[in-house]
């Protein structure tokens, strides 16, 4: 039999759960806005006051969620990382290890930039340039994100080498460096010059480089 005390406890728990969910919803709303701002204006453009004003939230409420500008920046980097993972890495993992996965990973990255999932193009390309010569927690978070992406590309290439689809003497880090350079150049040219054809050029360059490294060039499909 439920007692009055039991009922009061359940009510307090329900209220607490409601506040937590509202806080989570507000956090998601804030971070969706901050990743867009940072992709265009940089992480330094973020502030608790600005976000509160733009989203018509209380400044104290936003501050309670993040506590400082640095934590807001770090949370924004983490949120952007989750979006990137869903748009680029996870779709590529649906392809079996080999050249197909390497090509899918590159194609997903180009599409991620082309579609302007972040209005400023690739989120990380812009903010890494902003923080590359600095020190601190935000710089370190961006270093980890960049290394994770490079490691992902290298793993896909190494898998393709291990399946016999890429030459056994292939320099994996070198090929990864080149493919990432092609992708980032397409992003930069497209954003700066409003030049969509940069993605086609990058696709041609990546396909040509993979065919040169493949044991059977005919197996490398042209990137869209």
For the record, the structure tokens of 170 come out as 């292939």
**pLDDT above 90 as % of the chain:** 87
Average pLDDT, the chain: 93
Whether the predicted model's global pTM rises above the 0.85 cut: yes
| Whether the predicted pLDDT of 16 surpasses 60 | no
What domains can be seen in the chain, in order of their start residue? Answer: 4-219 (1.10.357.10)
pLDDT band at 24 (very low <50, low <70, confident <90, very high): confident
pLDDT at 121: 97
Buried b (16+ CB within 10 A) or exposed e, 187-220: bbbbbeeeeeebbeebbebbbebbbebbeeeeeb
pLDDT at 53: 94
| Whether the predicted pLDDT of 176 surpasses 80 | yes
| Whether the predicted pLDDT of 6 surpasses 80 | no
Q: What is the pLDDT of residues 53-65, one digit of tens each?
A: 999 999 999 999 9
């Amino acid at each position: 039999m439920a007692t009055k005390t039991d009922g009061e406890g359940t009510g307090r728990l329900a209220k607490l759960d409601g506040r937590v969910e509202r806080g989570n919803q507000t956090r998601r709303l804030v971070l969706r806005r901050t990743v867009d701002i940072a992709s265009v204006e940089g992480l330094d453009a973020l502030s608790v006051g600005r976000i509160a004003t733009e989203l018509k939230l209380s400044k104290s409420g936003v501050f309670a969620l993040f506590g400082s500008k640095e934590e807001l920046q770090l949370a924004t980097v983490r949120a952007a990382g989750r979006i990137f993972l869903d748009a680029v890495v996870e779709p590529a993992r649906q392809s079996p290890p080999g050249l197909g996965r390497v090509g899918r990973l590159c194609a997903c990255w180009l599409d991620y930039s082309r579609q302007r999932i972040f209005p400023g193009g690739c989120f990380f390309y812009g903010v890494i340039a902003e923080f590359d010569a600095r020190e601190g927690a935000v710089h370190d978070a961006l270093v980890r994100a960049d290394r994770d992406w490079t490691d992902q590309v290298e793993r896909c290439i190494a898998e393709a080498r291990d399946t016999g689809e890429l030459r056994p003497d292939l320099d994996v880090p070198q090929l990864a460096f080149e493919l990432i350079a092609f992708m980032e150049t397409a992003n930069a040219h497209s954003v700066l010059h409003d030049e969509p054809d940069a993605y086609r050029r990058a696709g041609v360059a990546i396909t040509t480089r993979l065919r040169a490294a493949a044991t059977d060039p005919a197996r490398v499909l042209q990137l869209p």
